[in-house]
Structure 1
Amino acid sequence: MGKMISELLVEDMTAEERERAERVESILPTLRERATATDKQGEFNPDNVKLLADAGLLGLVVPKEYGGLGGGLRDWAAACFAIGTVCPSTGLAYFFHNTSASRGTLALSALKEGLFNDEEAPQVQAFAEKVLYTMGRDAKWLANYASESVKSEHSAITITTQAEKVDGGWILNGEKSFGCATGVADQYLVTAALKGINDASALSTFIVDRDAKGTRGRIEWDAMGMRGTATEGLVLEDVFVSDENALGIPGAFARSCQMSRSSFVGNQVAASVIYMGGAVAAYQSAVKLMKDKKFVDTGKPVGTGPYQQQIIGEMYANLQTALLWARRQIQIESSEPPMVSKDEVVKFWRTCKGQIAEHSFQVAIAALKCAGTSGTMFSTPYSRALRDLAMGLVQAFPAEKGRLDTASLVIEGEEQNAFGKG
């Protein structure tokens, strides 16, 4: 039985994890064929939604009772990593789709732990199951919108998008700065604050149809990398959401997030490993080039030269360092029973994200050096890797911010509040 690319990250897959990973492996050739055009055109390829749906992968991390594959963080990270080796743009959009499942699974876990009273429980149950059935049984793509351009000094996420109660539902107004698959996903999962509440209990979740009146993209996505993600954000202008598509219970979002093994909703390492997948692809391309290309005078591979070997050694070291950080984060965030406290998981993650991003980017730089001038053409794997991996340096929080946060946690000994200080 051959080794899959995802096993470079998750080395000890169970039989069920391997079966799920084989589904991912089966679509990689098609994603690879489409990747260059996706990058060049700067557009999300909607055919990739059907590709993932037909493979059953839109329900990868959805429990089996809701029509999903029943995977966990290890599956999620392995899938995003593998897709990242062929098309990081699709990997990132797919990551955000999967984050939607947490709005269901965490809410159900909170219900089980008794964090909702008898009056709240039926609404929480119905909403959570709707999210999970949509992704699993119905194989629909959900785009997840939480981030906004407005930030506060004490919060990783500040929500200014507001939801106002009206007869039969809610009216949403606001602007989401980040979120993949705008105009492509079947539905949007939107985090908004309940009007009239000024603390973390205001955060609530709403399901918005893609073609709902009052919705539009915020910007035209024309970034230097991750170009095929449709990261246009979302503007909501008097968008009506029915009660059945809303979880407007004060404090429901925050209570659900208490069930996460890491900060906020957790599982963010599955995004970082997409960039590492890009680094693996760049490394493999560069090594192949160094083996195949020969010195004209001696006939030896160019990779035997001392300059080239120094670069190859740097690539290897940076790639292995990124892999070690990622494997450790996955281990402490998914182990059963938990091997470290939640505070330790958060502390490690704040530094881990930056380490993966920075070491992966260094691999891309070295690969470009191996390729030389010809590698700088826009459509080469070296150019694309450099552009895509640069995006990892700025996604969410930069490495410098993460290290500062870790230092604060080490000295002050308490987890930072992701929802602000009310």
Structure 2
Amino acid sequence: MKRTLYSSDHEAFRESVAAFVQREVVPNLERWEEDAIIDRGVWLAAGKQGLLGLAAPEEYGGAGGADYRFRNVILEEFAKVHATALASSFSLQDDIAIPYIAEIGNEEQKQRFLPPMIAGERIGAIAMTEPGTGSDLQGIKTSAKQVAGGWVVNGAKTFITNGINSDLVITVAKTDPAGGPNAFTLFVVEREMEGFGRGRKLKKVGLHAQDTAELVYEDVFVPDENVLGEIGGGFGQLKNMLPLERLSIAAHAVAVAEAVLAETITYTKDRRAFGQRIADFQNTQFELAEMQTLVNVARVYVDQAILSFNAGEFTDVDAAQAKWWTSDLQNDVIDRCLQLHGGYGFMLEYPVGRAYQDARIQRIFGGANEIMKMIIGRKIVGRP
């Protein structure tokens, strides 16, 4: 089935991205894994080449387009070289942090925050999850108390992507002690603010190169000009922005599944056992046939989801369906591909081994897949 998602402009952009990947990413992948952090040089290089802020308005340095197909090209090219940690970090910047500022921020905030973020000079993060809360955002305990000229924030966050590198952290805090849906507000907390610090850089099952950390807020004064959106409007703002985050997870999931499957097909054609190619065994052919079909079906769905997002028709239910299905599929395909590699699949020198580690989080972040099914199920039965 011929793919029709892209135009010649997208393919020309792909050539530029592929060159960037070979020049700035591939030579550094092993070092980033060993150092357990991605150095800031690649962020500056990406900003210089125009790979950040693709959907941000041109007046702030962005590309000025709402066409997610260009972002998807980047995800696909990163997937081909298994730069999963970098893809996740960049998605946090381009699909979460920058859109929050661009969509919710006032004019002064856009002028102050967007240009350095688009240039890769300032790295963004979002801090929702806390120890003991997980997907239950109603359980957030980080508080913000109003004082003259601003707010004092106290609390702790965990599992924060870009937690060490981040310069601007969009922080969810409770501004009404009584609780309820209107009790939470978003604040842009900056690295240099007194009382704001980093806890541990967390050791993870996968995505070793990506800096995931704890954050600590001890009487952090956040001025009024760093309040993002309306006081008490945090939950509504989060809900409105989540579909894009989940689309990015789905798009990356399919891209990685495609890349790992393509490498596995090559491996089974080259590797021999019992006097014949592994690809010549009927079980191998059945496995490859099933996986190729599943990945192709998922690709068609995600391509349509991207077009739906571009048209402004992509809903929270669409996003939940795309996120849970593709992330489950990604994990299943990689697991089966690893099995076809035999013992070599368990070695990290083979990309399938690292992909196996990195894929597991896809079913958790952006909202656990069980939460995605609740969103879908409630819509089906007519519950709010």
TM-score (norm 2): 0.86
Report the Cα offset of residue 175 of structure 1.
Answer: 1.5
Mind listing any 5+ residue stretches in structure 1 that lack a counterpart? 1-7, 109-123, 415-422
Alignment of 1:284 onto 2:262 = yes
1:309 maps to 285
Alignment of 1:52 onto 2:33 = no
Contact 1:315–1:363 (CA under 8 A) maintained in structure 2: yes
1:125 maps to 107
Report the Cα offset of residue 67 of structure 1.
Answer: 0.6
1:97 maps to 93
The one-letter code matched in structure 1 to 2:60 is Y
2:246 maps to 268
Q: Describe the shift of the 1:220–1:382 C-alpha distance in structure 2 as closer, same or farther (beyond 3 A).
A: same
Q: Describe the shift of the 1:210–1:379 C-alpha distance in structure 2 as closer, same or farther (beyond 3 A).
A: farther
Three-state SS of the structure 2 residue aligned to 1:178 is strand
Structure 1, residues 351-377: CA drift from partner, whole Å, max 9, x if none? 321110111111111211121112211
Structure 1, residues 143-198: CA drift from partner, whole Å, max 9, x if none? 22233344499x55653222222333322112122321122123322222325563
2:103 maps to 106
Count of residues in Structure 1 that have an aligned counterpart in Structure 2:
379
2:342 maps to 372
Q: Describe the shift of the 1:281–1:97 C-alpha distance in structure 2 as closer, same or farther (beyond 3 A).
A: same
The one-letter code matched in structure 1 to 2:79 is G
Within 1, Cα distance between the matches of 2:180 and 2:51? 36
Within 1, Cα distance between the matches of 2:210 and 2:378? 34
Matches within 5 A, 1:166-315: 166-196=147-177, 198-247=179-228, 249-253=230-234, 260=240, 264=242, 266-294=244-272, 297=275, 301-315=277-291
Three-state SS of the structure 1 residue aligned to 2:159 is coil
Within 1, Cα distance between the matches of 2:370 and 2:12? 38
Q: Describe the shift of the 1:25–1:302 C-alpha distance in structure 2 as closer, same or farther (beyond 3 A).
A: same
Within 1, Cα distance between the matches of 2:97 and 2:115? 12
Structure 1, residues 372-399: CA drift from partner, whole Å, max 9, x if none? 1122113321110111112212223333
Structure 1, residues 385-419: CA drift from partner, whole Å, max 9, x if none? 111112212223333332233122101254xxxxx
Within 2, Cα distance between the matches of 1:180 and 1:76? 19
Mind listing any 5+ residue stretches in structure 2 that lack a counterpart? none
2:6 maps to 13
Within 2, Cα distance between the matches of 1:379 and 1:216? 36
Within 1, Cα distance between the matches of 2:120 and 2:279? 50
Contact 1:88–1:275 (CA under 8 A) maintained in structure 2: no
The one-letter code matched in structure 1 to 2:294 is N
The one-letter code matched in structure 2 to 1:289 is Y
Contact 1:102–1:265 (CA under 8 A) maintained in structure 2: no
Q: Describe the shift of the 1:152–1:388 C-alpha distance in structure 2 as closer, same or farther (beyond 3 A).
A: closer
1:62 maps to 56
1:322 maps to 298
Higher share of residues assigned strand? 2
Q: Describe the shift of the 1:16–1:170 C-alpha distance in structure 2 as closer, same or farther (beyond 3 A).
A: farther
Contact 1:175–1:218 (CA under 8 A) maintained in structure 2: no
Q: Describe the shift of the 1:172–1:70 C-alpha distance in structure 2 as closer, same or farther (beyond 3 A).
A: same
Within 2, Cα distance between the matches of 1:398 and 1:101? 23
Alignment of 1:388 onto 2:358 = yes
Report the Cα offset of residue 18 of structure 1.
Answer: 4.4
Within 2, Cα distance between the matches of 1:200 and 1:66? 33
Report the Cα offset of residue 228 of structure 1.
Answer: 1.5
Contact 2:52–2:119 (CA under 8 A) maintained in structure 1: no
Higher relative contact order (CA 8 A, sep 6+): 1
1:397 maps to 367
Within 2, Cα distance between the matches of 1:308 and 1:265? 37
